[in-house]
């Protein structure tokens, strides 16, 4: 069934010029006038649909959730303007969402791949190093061009964050993923797992609070991206408190990582690493936080307001291979009354959310 044609006149970002956008009955963007179109906005600012580049539709703190909860999570992200989600690992099968025209597009990374009994219960496909490459092959089939490794977690012997995989195994797993045409990302909080992952040519690092200048320079040189999940990083002290009794060394380490997080992440910015906005919603954090994350990239990590907005919109779309506001692309955009370039808090108050040519919020 077609959609009623729509028209918006507004300042369109990133170009910054006032122009007309037309949406045809197939829900696609057109730059030529459609005479029957209904005008839904004649002022304001249009931003390509926001991108949450690290979230987990289908998960809560205990593992997979049923379809009704999955729908609520996806709808909450949508209503916040996040129309493209990179699901960075989920134990739930959310493929049914692809059939829903009113829910965001999801790019999946399959299920987390973790070391046996060294990750959050009920989250990961847990394997030992000898089986990592085979598991990467399996999860590549479950994802949409990505797989997700758990790079470090608490080691019970040392009582601290340690790499989950030997360096040669990591290199073989990433090489195999690349042979399959799949990109690889990894959860990494601490320092010690990063050299092997970056050295193996990984495509993205999640969190990255253990980075240093040399590693950041190497990431920039080879095009490894960083999704710092800055809002999530502020939970590090509570994670430390929860682990204090059993793992005091880990607890102290997490507090130290948190204390220097902004300095660390600014080092990546200064080195030229490409950063993208991701909330880590779906575990302990609620969905719908993309505006807060973009604001944190500006205020705490040091991106300019425009660069932070790009990291949660048009630049992230380019990175993920999904079109923005181009002729013939799906009409996925958000209309704001105020200019988010001047105050990113405008992202918390969308006037209209248009997904596949329909006003959905």
**pLDDT digit of tens for each residue in the chain (361 aa)?**
578 999 999 999 999 999 999 999 999 999 899 999 999 999 999 999 999 999 999 999 999 999 999 999 999 999 999 999 999 999 999 999 999 999 999 999 999 999 999 999 999 999 999 999 999 999 999 999 999 999 999 999 999 999 999 999 999 999 999 999 999 999 999 999 999 999 999 999 999 999 999 999 999 999 999 999 999 999 999 999 999 999 999 999 999 999 999 999 999 999 999 999 999 999 899 999 999 999 999 999 999 999 999 999 999 999 999 999 999 999 999 999 999 999 999 999 999 999 999 999 9
Of 84, 92, 80, nearest in space to 283 by CA: 92
152 in the same domain as 188: yes
167 in the same domain as 238: yes
107 in the same domain as 59: yes
Number of structural domains in the chain: 2
350 in the same domain as 262: no
56 in the same domain as 37: no
Q: How many CA atoms lie within 13 A of 215 on its CB side?
A: 23
Q: Residue 39 sits in a domain of what CATH number?
A: 2.30.40.10
CB-based contacts of 32, cutoff 8 Å, min separation 6: 22
Q: Residue 101 sits in which domain range?
A: 50-320
Report the C-alpha gap between 137 and 187 in whole angstroms. 18
In a domain, 114, yes or no: yes
Q: Is the peptide bond before 88 cis (omega within 30 degrees of 0)?
A: no
In a domain, 279, yes or no: yes
- 3-class SS at 323? coil
Neighbours of 63 (CB within 10 A): 15
Length of the chain: 361
In a domain, 337, yes or no: yes
Q: Residue 272 sits in a domain of what CATH number?
A: 3.20.20.140
104 in the same domain as 27: no
316 in the same domain as 330: no
350 in the same domain as 237: no
Report the C-alpha gap between 320 and 304 in whole angstroms. 21
């Amino acid at each position: 069934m077609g959609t009623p044609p729509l028209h918006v006149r507004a300042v369109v970002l990133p170009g910054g010029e006032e122009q007309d956008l037309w949406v045809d009955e197939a829900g696609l963007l057109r730059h030529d006038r459609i005479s029957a179109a209904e005008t839904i906005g004649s002022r304001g600012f249009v931003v390509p649909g926001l991108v949450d580049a690290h979230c987990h539709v289908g998960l809560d703190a205990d593992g997979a959730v049923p379809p009704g909860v999955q729908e609520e999570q996806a709808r909450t992200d949508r209503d916040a303007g996040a129309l493209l989600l990179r699901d960075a690992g989920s134990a739930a099968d959310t493929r049914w969402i692809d059939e829903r025209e009113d829910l965001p597009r999801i790019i999946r990374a399959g299920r987390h791949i973790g070391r046996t009994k060294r990750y959050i219960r009920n989250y990961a496909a847990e394997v030992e190093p000898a089986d990592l490459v085979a598991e990467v092959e399996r999860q590549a089939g479950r994802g949409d061009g990505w797989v997700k490794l758990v790079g470090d977690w608490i080691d019970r012997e040392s009582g601290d964050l340690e790499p989950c995989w030997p360096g040669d195994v990591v290199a073989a797993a990433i090489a195999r993923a690349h042979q399959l045409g799949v990109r690889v990302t990894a959860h990494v909080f601490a320092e010690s797992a990063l050299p092997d992952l970056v050295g193996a040519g990984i495509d993205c690092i999640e969190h990255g609070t253990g980075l240093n200048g040399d590693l950041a320079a190497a990431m920039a040189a080879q095009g490894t991206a960083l999704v710092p999940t800055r809002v999530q990083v502020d939970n590090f002290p509570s994670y430390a408190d929860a682990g204090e009794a059993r793992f005091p060394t880990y607890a102290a380490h997490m507090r130290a990582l948190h204390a220097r997080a902004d300095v660390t992440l600014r080092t990546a910015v200064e080195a030229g690493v490409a950063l993208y906005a991701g909330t880590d919603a779906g575990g302990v954090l609620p969905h719908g936080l993309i505006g807060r994350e973009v604001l944190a990239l500006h205020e705490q990590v040091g991106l300019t307001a425009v660069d932070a907005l790009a990291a949660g919109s048009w630049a992230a779309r380019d990175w993920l291979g999904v079109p923005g506001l181009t002729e013939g692309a799906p009409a996925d955009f958000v209309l704001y009354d105020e200019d988010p370039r001047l105050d990113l808090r405008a992202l918390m108050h969308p006037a209209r959310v248009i997904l596949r040519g329909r006003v959905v919020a």
